A = this chain, B = another copy of it.
Amino acid sequence: MELKLAFIGFGNVARAFARMLCAHRSRLAEEYDLTWKVTALATGKHGCVLSQSALDVEEAVAVVERNESLTELSTVRAAHDSIEIIQACDADVLFETTPLDPDSGEPAAAYIRSALSRGINVVTANKGPIAFAHRELKTLAGTNGVAFRFEGTVMDGAPVFNLAEYCLPATRVLGFYGLLNSTTNIILTGMESGQSFDESLAEATRLGIAEANPDYDIDGWDAAVKTVALANVLMNANARPSDVKRAGIRAVSSEHLKSAAQGGNAVRLVARAETAGDGLRLTVSPETVPLASPLGCARGASNVLVIKTDLMGEIAIFETDPGVEQTAYALLSDLIRIHEDLMTERRHKI
């Protein structure tokens, strides 16, 4: 089955995904009977283009990385903006990876809403829409008979949502805790090793891991938005980022870290969801944890999520030192899942 793909946003993650698609074209065709072509690309700074046939994706990646305009590609026509692209692209699957507005989840949620309403399957790596509008978007996808997938929004490609959806049937998630923000973990473990806050932050920026505005990481907003996304999906909550009791890592000094280390401990920015009475208590704050624990042993960009369930006890998933490739993989795994489901439908229709 050949799928027509559209990209809204063509930054680091989307381009890494595009390169992965090209590099593994034959693996996808041979193992999944999945072939694809890209028919639309919308970017903030490099133009928006549509193609009747197929865009040259490798050339598109190169054009953007040379900081040129996509309209120079052959076989394309220019479009005005992302909304025009979504309305005109006639894609099977749309990949939404625009920059995040942590205060509203917009315009990403609007793009997703528009695509789902037009009967287009959507994959996003954007946690905002999950934190602000998961329930609405899931319902909209159901009404339109399409998929809405978002594995890459939390812990990159480590399968947290898919684990819960496919591997923990009949369980109730009673709560969770974990390290969800790589930048703050790079800073805290860098400071443990004797670097300054600024040196460690510079390293996270150099690795392409820190947000464009690192305050968003440092003050715990990124972790809070992810905590809400997890609570909304795994625990069927209807929370918003403002529901999270949040403290960042600005008050954590080298002295704190040294004194913790002397006691066999570490300081980590821990996200937690706990049932409290009838409600749910969501927190993000620096905690002192044993070095020899799943949280304490996670260094650098590594993330970890511990899930407490009723029938399966406690399990954790641990992602070692992720980079942009891992987020790109999340988009790939979502694409394969959508394709598999379409194939099952088609096979049974014939």
| Chain A residues near B (Cβ < 8 Å) | 20, 24, 27-28, 31-32, 157-159, 162-163, 166-171, 266, 290-294, 296-297, 306, 311-323, 325-326, 329, 332-333, 336-337, 340, 344, 348-349
| Whole-angstrom CA separation of A221 from B1 in the bound complex | 46
- Nearest CB to that of A308 among chain B residues? B320
Min CB distance A156 to B, Å, is: 9
User: CB distance B170 to A166 under 8 Å?
Assistant: no
Min CB distance A118 to B, Å, is: 26
Supposing A170-B32, A318-B294 touch, asked if A312 and B157 sit within 8 A by C-beta, the answer is yes
Number of copies: 2
User: CB distance A291 to B294 under 8 Å?
Assistant: no
User: CB distance B315 to A329 under 8 Å?
Assistant: no
Which residues of chain B are within 8 angstroms of A27 by Cβ–Cβ distance? Answer: 170
26 pairs, CB–CB < 8 Å, chain A vs chain B: A20-B311, A27-B170, A28-B170, A32-B169, A157-B312, A159-B163, A159-B168, A159-B315, A163-B167, A166-B167, A167-B167, A167-B333, A170-B333, A290-B297, A292-B292, A294-B294, A311-B325, A311-B329, A311-B332, A312-B326, A313-B322, A314-B320, A316-B318, A317-B317, A318-B318, A344-B348
| Whole-angstrom CA separation of A162 from B171 in the bound complex | 15
Supposing A32-B169, A170-B27, A348-B348 touch, asked if A329 and B312 sit within 8 A by C-beta, the answer is yes
Which residues of chain B are within 8 angstroms of A31 by Cβ–Cβ distance? Answer: 170
Min CB distance A188 to B, Å, is: 13
Min CB distance A297 to B, Å, is: 4
Supposing A316-B320, A317-B318 touch, asked if A166 and B162 sit within 8 A by C-beta, the answer is yes
**A317 contacts which of B20, B170, B316, B344 (Cβ < 8 Å)?**
B316
**A296 contacts which of B171, B297, B318, B332 (Cβ < 8 Å)?**
B297
| Whole-angstrom CA separation of A256 from B297 in the bound complex | 22
- Nearest CB to that of A298 among chain B residues? B294
Which residues of chain B are within 8 angstroms of A321 by Cβ–Cβ distance? Answer: 313-314
Min CB distance A227 to B, Å, is: 20
| Whole-angstrom CA separation of A144 from B319 in the bound complex | 38
Which residues of chain B are within 8 angstroms of A168 by Cβ–Cβ distance? Answer: 159, 333
Min CB distance A276 to B, Å, is: 22
Min CB distance A247 to B, Å, is: 24
User: CB distance B325 to A313 under 8 Å?
Assistant: yes
Which residues of chain B are within 8 angstroms of A296 by Cβ–Cβ distance? Answer: 292, 297
Which residues of chain B are within 8 angstroms of A336 by Cβ–Cβ distance? Answer: 169-170
| Whole-angstrom CA separation of A323 from B313 in the bound complex | 9
Min CB distance A155 to B, Å, is: 9
Min CB distance A171 to B, Å, is: 8
| Whole-angstrom CA separation of A312 from B169 in the bound complex | 24
Contacts beyond the supplied A170-B333, A290-B297, A314-B320: 10 A-B pairs with Cβ under 8 Å: A31-B170, A158-B315, A169-B340, A266-B292, A292-B292, A294-B297, A294-B318, A315-B320, A317-B317, A348-B349
Closest CB pairs A-B (n = 10): A348-B348, A159-B167, A316-B318, A166-B166, A314-B320, A291-B292, A169-B336, A162-B167, A292-B297, A312-B329
